[in-house]
Amino acid sequence: MDQFWKNEFVATAGYYSVAILCTIVFLAIFELVTKYRNWEEIKKGNLSVAMATGGKIFGVANIFRHSILQHDSLLNMVSWGVYGFLLLLAGYFIFEFMTPKFNIDQEIQNDNRAVGLISMIISVGLSYVIGAGI
């Protein structure tokens, strides 16, 4: 069995599959903590939600990219990926806390594109910092 996991095609497929599954789970968690429904808003054409969600997807993927590069087992990769996601989620709450004059979720739901863009940039930027730490 050990020889099976050493095959680069098998390892790549494993990393890919686990990263996709984790991304789906993490997006569901983001859906729970936001006051709007991501996919309903995107279906309605809400560009701000699309930018914020796209930033989260990119952020999670970038964290897993770094996790795959730095760790030699699937379990280590997942562990560090989950830890990185938790840090990204904390960044979301810090962003909300740092803007007491308006509600981030409400502004994004109302299609405030400036807030959607900054939310995307924060997710992407934090993913690079988190990835560097992994």
Where are the domains positioned within the chain?
A: 2-133
- Tell which residue, 54, 41, 24, has the closest CA to residue 119: 54
More confident residue, 51 or 100: 51
* Sequence-ordered strand ranges (E) for 24-107: none
pTM confidence score:
0.89
11 vs 67, higher pLDDT? 67
For residue 59, give every residue at least 6 positions away whose Cβ sits within 8 Å of its Cβ, in sequence order, or none.
88, 123, 124, 126, 127
Q: Are 104 and 95 in contact (CB under 8 A)?
A: yes
Per-residue confidence (pLDDT) for residue 100, from 0 to 100: 86
Amino acid, single-letter form, for residue 30 = F
